[in-house]
Amino acid sequence: MLLKRTIYLLLFTSLILCCEDSFAQTSSTVVRKGAKYDTIIRKHVDKPVAKPKPKQTAQGAPAPVVLPVPEFVNQPYFYDSSVNRLIKLESSTAELITKKKTLGLKGARQFFSMDDVSSKIRFTAKPNMVFLMKTSGDVIDLTSYIKLYKFVAEDGKRIVTITSKEGLLNDNEEGKGKQISFSVKSVSGDNYMIQFADQLEAGEYGFVWVKNMELKEFSVFAFGIDWKKSD
């Protein structure tokens, strides 16, 4: 009887030890037993590589304005800065005329004469007149090749006096029209900006290409202004 009890006790003890060993092999939890630790196997996952952030421009900084380039060379275009575009002027010709006054006793005058009393290209309410011009690359001093004149109406034409000589008799007749001074600024390569120190008055204007003064006809790029100086 004692022998049977001993055998049953040994079998029960073996069964308990087998169960504990199986549980230890299948568990994924760290179990501390004194100074010993069970080994836990974890799956390795690579961390995503952080992409560098692009550098940001200063907030509120205005983007640089790319000026339009004139289509044709040696031809001024009006620059409308509100929409960043060019407006082509009226292409015309002017005849250079020399006229003696009273058979030369009152001198003589030389003037440009252009058809029609006004230009079809007109500007209103634009106090800052700026023009852009592209040259062919052979221009050293642009102001010596092109002049801006204010024309006046006379006998159904637009005229401007460029030279006047006094004669033996006094002549109190005032000059017809006048030349307008301007400054030229290089913007890129053969492209130039034409600006004025003072606001242009209302009237008829024309850029005249005077590179060769021996000609009888000259190319003119005309426009008209309709506002008053007080506007």
Is 156 domain-assigned? yes
Q: How far apart are CA 181 and CA 149, in angstroms?
A: 9
| Inside any domain, residue 211 | yes
159-217: pLDDT as tens digits: 999 988 764 333 444 568 899 999 999 998 889 999 999 889 999 999 999 888 788 89
Q: Is residue 108 part of a domain?
A: yes
Give residue 131's identity as a one-letter amino acid code. F
Please provide residue 119's backbone torsions phi and psi, each rounded to the nearest 5 degrees: -90, 150
- Please give the average per-residue pLDDT across 51-70, as a whole number: 69
Instruction: Read off φ and ψ for residue 164, nearest 5 degrees.
Output: -145, 130
Q: Does 8 map to a domain?
A: no
Alpha-carbon distance of 210 to 219, in angstroms, equals 8
Q: Which amino acid is at 162?
A: I
Distance CA 131, CA 68 (A): 11
Is 221 within a domain?
A: yes
8 A C-beta contact, residue 158 and residue 97: no
- pTM, two decimal places: 0.67
Sheet holding 77-80, edge to edge: 85-88, 77-80, 131-134, 191-195, 183-188
Residue 57 lies in a domain: no
The answer to whether residue 114 sits within a structural domain is yes
- Specify the range with the lowest mean pLDDT, choosing from 50-59, 67-76, 105-114, 221-230: 50-59
The pLDDT score that the predictor gives to residue 122 is 95
Tokens standing for 38? Answer: 């069970």
Q: In this predicted structure, what is the pLDDT of residue 21?
A: 53
Instruction: Classify residue 28 by burial, with Cβ atoms within 10 Å: 0-12, 13-18, 19+.
Output: exposed
Q: Quick one: pLDDT at residue 188? A: 86
Instruction: Tell me, yes or no, whether 175 lies in a domain.
Output: yes
* Cβ–Cβ < 8 Å for 24, 16: no
Q: Which domain holds residue 103?
A: 77-225
Residue 205: CB atoms within 10 A of its CB come to 25
- Work out how many domains the chain is built from and give that number: 1
